[in-house]
Homo-oligomer: A and B are copies of this chain.
């Protein structure tokens, strides 16, 4: 039995969850793995507030140096969240030869290159299974059992808050604002929900997942991003009528000479495996040239599921003589600024002859063919609602059509990509 000495940066929800899991299940984990985990120090803002986790007084510290500079501490677990000071502290821990375990997708995504370089320099390990999909073993799977694959596509529901909101909007026919407020009341959405509902959280996760799956850095600033704030109950209802379910997806594709990376709402056929991943569940669908189609589904957040992944990483960090380091290709390809998709275009049009012909004409002019069309007359305002679903077409061409439509005659209400 080897003792492994840990320092925790933060003792909030996740830190507390890890503390609990080690306390309750540490003995059994030690039997299974040969590693006995001991938390020597936990960094807190105020020693008086540590969430009633029954942490002994001598474990608590308000001085980061007690963790980052203590040679006895072998592994530093970072639970501060946010970019700074989390990133600097992780960098310092790695510099001091300590392995780092983190669930912090933001700091990891923004500082991946530096952190990776420092780990490479000092030989320390950097582990982050919990940063994407919570308990779902997606990071380990991509890096190890699925390594001998050209991963062609990843498509994930990686943000529980937005999935919860969309699931309830679909079930209740309610509008975005109403459900958001309710989710905030239930503690399922943050008081400031922007990071979730604008897709930033999903973009950080896609940045990490894409970099690993495609062995090509995917920087978050190159990811196309669109949130769920403009989704209306009409979009969801009309989509359903045409056989689709709406999800906020993080999509990555390796097209050989470019990488697609985009976060946006998308319709999936109702029989797609991701379509029935509801509520706060997370799931990642992957396609690899050898393993073919695969989906991993589970709890993407929550103290206990996150702690499950963190403690798994701690054991990995403890057991590796040489820490695995993700390979990035020598000649990276760029993230594409155009791509192919199918499109659901919802328009409110003057209920007059010729409007549909104009829409069809513009689409045809861009070489976009239509796979389905639906027209509902006399929607509120005396207008007709026209919904067009296209065959596969370039994003740029669809955007040109949207721009070319005269809003006096035909107002585009929403454009939603159709995937799967």
Q: Which residues of A contact B (CB under 8 A)?
A: 21, 25, 28-29, 31-33, 129, 135-137, 140-141, 144-150, 215, 271, 273, 276, 288-299, 302, 304-305, 307-309, 311-313, 315-316, 319, 321-322, 324, 327, 329
Extra inter-chain contacts (10) besides given A149-B308, A293-B298, CB under 8 Å? A25-B150, A28-B150, A135-B292, A137-B140, A141-B141, A145-B309, A145-B312, A294-B298, A295-B297, A295-B298
Q: Are A290 and B304 in contact (CB under 8 A)?
A: yes
Report the bound CA distance from A124 to B322 in whole Å.
Answer: 18
Report the bound CA distance from A21 to B144 in whole Å.
Answer: 16
Q: Are A308 and B288 in contact (CB under 8 A)?
A: yes
Report the bound CA distance from A319 to B150 in whole Å.
Answer: 21
Which of B146, B276, B324 meets A276, CB within 8 Å? B276
| Contacts A144-B140, A297-B273, A308-B146 given; does A135 touch B315 at CB 8 Å | no
Q: Are A299 and B309 in contact (CB under 8 A)?
A: no
Which of B146, B292, B295 meets A312, CB within 8 Å? B146
Q: Are A136 and B294 in contact (CB under 8 A)?
A: yes
Distance (whole angstroms) from the CB of A133 to the closest CB of chain B: 10
| Contacts A290-B21, A304-B290 given; does A145 touch B149 at CB 8 Å | no
Q: Are B291 and A299 in contact (CB under 8 A)?
A: yes
Q: Are A291 and B315 in contact (CB under 8 A)?
A: no
Q: Are A148 and B327 in contact (CB under 8 A)?
A: no
A31 cross-chain contacts in B, Cβ below 8 A? 327, 329
Select from chain B the residue with minimum beta-carbon distance to A37. B148
Distance (whole angstroms) from the CB of A279 to the closest CB of chain B: 11
Select from chain B the residue with minimum beta-carbon distance to A286. B298
| Contacts A140-B145, A144-B312, A148-B315 given; does A291 touch B298 at CB 8 Å | yes
